Amino acid sequence: MDEGGKLEVVLRVRPLTAEESAADEQCVAAVRSAGGGGPGQAEVVVTDRGVARSWRFARVLGPDASQTDVVHAVDARGAVQGARAGHSACIMCHGSTGSGKTHTMLGRLSSLEPPSRLAGLLPHAFALLLEEREAVRAAGGRQDLLFGAIDVYNEAAFDLLEETTPRLPVREHSIGGAFFAAGAQWRSIEGAADAEAALADASRHRAVGAHALNRDSSRSHAVFTVMVQTYPHGGATAAARSAVLVFVDLAGSERRKQTGTSGHAAEESAAINKSLLALNRCVTALAEAGAGVDGRPSAGVAAPRRPHVPYRSSVLTRLLRSVLDGPAQVKLLACVSPAESQVEHTTATLQYAARASGIRARPARPISPTGPTSDHSSSEVAGLRSALERARAEVARLRGENSSLRRQLLVAGLEPAVPLRAPTLGRTATADALRQASREDRGGSSPRAGDPLDCPPGGTGANADSDGSVDQDGGLC
């Protein structure tokens, strides 16, 4: 966000491709300086059928901009340094198919020591993260990096770090309402080799396809997340600061008549457009609110009634809710083509970016060294601590009961071969012995058909969960 709390938009205009130049495509998007070249002092002018329209954003990068220029424009170093202090950040790459989004986000993957000139934003961010971690260590602290990557394909979430993965359920966290892909893998990043391998796997497993506009079109949205856990004083957890850096490579919006897709590819395009429309509606609702997500209006503007933000309308918007509707610093990296044949897509992207720049969010703040800073979070922590104490008391009670049962067995001469708490089949024999002894005390006999079962089906005598796992602290049925 900028100083006013608005979502910051960085625009990148790619150069004409070799195919477009060979076809004598006209360049209809031009970048013009509106001042000294600083933030907000450049604009893009698009001419469509003789009518020129201009848009001004925080940063505007022309066709000659390098990958390193993009890294500086979005202030990737600032985001990495902010994560050390507990600030989260998100950078979303948006644009039509073939506008250069994936090249901007990933680029050509190679060594991170240092990144090549064609490496994208995410590889450069990893290089900065590893550099920052060395600075933390030099200051006597510790920093852990975990990397996760989710592919949103045809309204389903998949793990990009696994070669074959089932569809992951998207669940809502009981605290805070954030959504997450349950079962997704997190990889520990210890050095450049780990980061290079993780990025290569995530890129290789992503769904891509070819059509008339792009030979390697992404058929899915990729959400890359780096979890940063910083311990300023080494292993002292009391002062730990947590943050996440989220990098989103959105699939490009498509028009069937231009891409020439049919069958399954057309279904993929429909799913892409559906999720992008859902994201557009969320962005529009947030922009129309005219106030931050904490309900505070802009200066001099009366607080309007905040419209409903339809995060639940797609898997993509559910996964992005925590960064769009929270304190994270969010930047939109809009990518457009200057080609005349793409002028409608370019105009649509610019209009979308202009709407997004109206979003205001809570100012990001570091996590307090002594814990969460908000009263709401403090009450949540207190509640969790209370629940933990109750759970500990329950464990102590169950242990006492187990000890009492073991003493009874010793008195009865039926000492088990293993302790009652051990999750082995030894408990089955013990349970059978206890039941038999109980029946003998009652003058009963072996169970007959129709008698109620003493234990649930499974035959182990242990407390089994629905997935077949055994409750390690479970007693006898």
How far apart CA 433 and CA 405 sit, in angstroms, is 12
Q: Is 420 found in the same domain as 299?
A: no
The answer to whether residue 131 is domain-embedded is yes
Supply the pLDDT for residue 77: 96
Q: Is 437 found in the same domain as 307?
A: no
Q: Is 395 found in the same domain as 308?
A: no
Instruction: Say if CB 248 and CB 90 are below 8 A apart.
Output: yes
The answer to whether residue 378 is domain-embedded is no
The residue among 373, 405, 440 that closes a domain is 373
Q: Is 238 found in the same domain as 168?
A: yes
Helix spans in 212-342 (H):
256-259, 264-289, 315-324
Judge whether residue 455 has pLDDT over 50: no
Residue of 310, 278, 283, 331 whose CA lies nearest to 152: 278
| Neighbouring residues of 91: CB distance < 8 A, sequence distance ≥ 6 | 74, 76, 79, 121, 246, 247, 248, 330, 331, 332, 333
- Higher-scoring residue by pLDDT: 75, 444: 75
The answer to whether residue 381 is domain-embedded is no
Q: In the block, which residue shows the tokens 């001042």?
A: 35
The answer to whether residue 384 is domain-embedded is no
How far apart CA 23 and CA 33 sit, in angstroms, is 29
The answer to whether residue 453 is domain-embedded is yes
Lowest model confidence (mean pLDDT) among 1-10, 61-70, 235-244, 277-286: 1-10
Instruction: Say if CB 346 and CB 87 are below 8 A apart.
Output: no
The answer to whether residue 382 is domain-embedded is no
Q: Is 393 found in the same domain as 367?
A: no
Task: Give the annotated binding-site residues.
Answer: 95-102
Render pLDDT for 67-119 as a digit per residue (tens, 0 to 9): 999 999 999 999 999 999 999 999 999 999 889 999 999 998 887 888 888 99
Range of the domain at 81: 8-373
Q: Is 187 found in the same domain as 60?
A: yes
Supply the pLDDT for residue 184: 93
Identify the band that residue 361 occupies on the pLDDT scale cut at 50, 70 and 90: low
Q: Is 270 found in the same domain as 334?
A: yes
Q: Is 180 found in the same domain as 273?
A: yes
Judge whether residue 431 has pLDDT over 50: no
Render pLDDT for 111-148 as a digit per residue (tens, 0 to 9): 788 888 899 999 999 999 999 999 999 999 999 999 99
Task: Give the annotated binding-site residues for ATP.
Answer: 95-102
Instruction: Say if CB 271 and CB 250 are below 8 A apart.
Output: no
Q: Is 436 found in the same domain as 345?
A: no
**Domains of the chain: total:** 2
Judge whether residue 375 has pLDDT over 80: no
Q: Is 393 found in the same domain as 366?
A: no
Identify the band that residue 466 occupies on the pLDDT scale cut at 50, 70 and 90: very low
CA torsion sign, 143 to 122 to 273 to 59? positive
- Numbers of helices and strands, H then E, in the chain: 12, 16
Q: Is 461 found in the same domain as 327?
A: no
Supply the pLDDT for residue 372: 40
Instruction: Say if CB 142 and CB 136 are below 8 A apart.
Output: yes
Judge whether residue 205 has pLDDT over 90: no
The answer to whether residue 380 is domain-embedded is no
Helix spans in 372-470 (H):
375-411, 426-442
